[in-house]
Chain A
């Protein structure tokens, strides 16, 4: 039987204390480093609407890239003349999509994903449709706004 008064008992207590000290030092160093490495959340007011330039100058079967807050968006004038707008961030791996007049679809150059003119993912790897924005035109200026709900 070991007791705390025998040399080996005292040694095990010291080893335990040494381990506690080592663990404490490692924790005191690693915890702040780990916290430092994770970037702080910066609250940003969600953009609800942006202006997207002149409606007249957007020819049928063409598109225009615009910034919607910190993310890219795209406004399309379809061959039939309708205006539509979507988030331009591909739902597959975060690339930015473009309008392909030859396909009359939205196309992502990164992995060949395709979306129709309603933003639905119709070919390639994208798992979800693109977020659609409401389009309003006033005095020839296109306004895009996030759909509520």
Chain B
């Protein structure tokens, strides 16, 4: 064993890395529970890659066969229902963990210098996660996902000049058809994973390079009371806590997938009306509900265009937060307020969408 290790170490030189990890410490304070959400998101990403690969073995990406192949997976393939259910639930938990991670980083001001690139890569990863959700949603080719994709892609039509081109790029033509299915399938299983893998690697490298950020309030407290921040060894203390968090995630995932298997719904019919009660996945509900309340025109301008512009500006502001936010305590308070208002708006709109009944 020792001989094999020495042989490998001579070629890979990994003992330096292990040595560094042995000496690595993580700050421990009253907010350190939020450090675990990034790891949980990464764990769920791993589950998505694994279950996604398993689904690929039976899934057929065409309008004529997609629904039937998923039906085959959940009814005939041993444990197929479980694999598909885990993939769908894990996607939802992954979005939830990524959003919790983003807002905790925002509220604890971990985006500050020198962690700007970590924040940029993180926001891009959240957007990629949403893109994974959007592209994966259509793949079972059911009624709900068909209309969600029609609406979701048509929103881009509001963009001046390029709108129609963007819609055609996403749909693979003018309508949502089998061409859209194969296109979104390609994005979902090849293009997005390739980009995500690179960004995850960069994000993790940056987290290792800079270490965990200590919130400014704790830093101030530590000046008078050094016990406010203690150093926790990464191996084994933090690593075991990480594994414990992953185990909880796995337990929740297994329970949800088993007791609430993900439904398949009815096959998409391009000529049938949109069914009553149609709505997108919960993480797009706030945008869906907002679009309902935007009037057709505002001061003579297309209302949809204004909504798209506001959402785009919001996403851009979130991405560029470390450059926009100042370094003073007052600027940090402003960031907390803006973050809280955004969170409250999204929660309110989601609540409204969930409680909305047909007229």
Contacts and interface: CB of A to CB of B under 8 A. Distances in A.
B147 A96 contact: yes
Contacts of B273: 65, 72, 74, 88, 96-98, 109
Nearest to A126: B296
Contacts of A125: 291-292, 294-296, 303-304
A94 interface: yes
A112 to B, nearest CB: 6
Contact of A95 (B150, B296, B297): B150
Contacts of B276: 109
Interface in B20-40: none
Interface stretch (A2-10, A35-43, A53-61): A35-43
A108 interface: yes
Interface residues of B, number: 37
B151 A94 contact: yes
A61 to B, nearest CB: 16
A23 interface: no
B311 to A, nearest CB: 14
A95 B151 contact: yes
B272 A38 contact: no
A40 B221 CA distance: 62
A94 to B, nearest CB: 4
Interface string A59-74: 0000001110011101
A92 B303 CA distance: 10
Contact of A94 (B154, B292, B297): B154
Given A94-B154, A95-B147, 13 more contacts: A38-B165, A42-B173, A88-B271, A92-B296, A92-B304, A93-B155, A94-B150, A94-B151, A95-B278, A96-B272, A112-B356, A125-B296, A127-B303
Interface of A: 37-39, 42, 65-67, 70-72, 74, 88, 92-98, 103, 107-112, 114, 121, 124-127
24 contacts: A37-B169, A39-B171, A39-B179, A65-B271, A66-B271, A92-B296, A93-B151, A93-B154, A93-B155, A94-B151, A94-B153, A95-B147, A96-B147, A96-B272, A98-B273, A107-B359, A109-B275, A109-B277, A109-B358, A111-B291, A112-B356, A112-B359, A125-B296, A125-B304
